[in-house]
Amino acid sequence: MRPTLRWIFQCFQGIHYVILNGVKQIFNLTEERRFILSLLPASCQRYYL
């Protein structure tokens, strides 16, 4: 089964980037999402990591 681009985008909707008191934090970046991210180009990886 091949995932659609829509499915991939929906997977990443749950990731949140927050800055509180100058501290940057990423929430909900699960191992599954990290694996999917590892399959994408470096420019996409830099956006989330």
pLDDT of residue 49: 77
pLDDT surpasses 90 at 48: no
pLDDT of residue 28: 93
Distances in Å between the Cα of 21 and the Cα atoms of 5, 8, 24, 40, 47 are: 35, 31, 9, 31, 21
Residue 2: both structure tokens together: 């091949």
3 state DSSP class of 39: coil
Contact 28, 35 (CB under 8 A): no
pLDDT of residue 3: 87
DSSP string, 2-33: ---HHHHHHHHTT-EEEEETTEEEEE---HHH
pLDDT of residue 1: 82
State if pTM tops 0.75.
Answer: no
- Tens digit of each residue's pLDDT (9 = 90 or more) over 3-44: 898 998 899 998 999 999 999 999 999 999 999 999 999 998
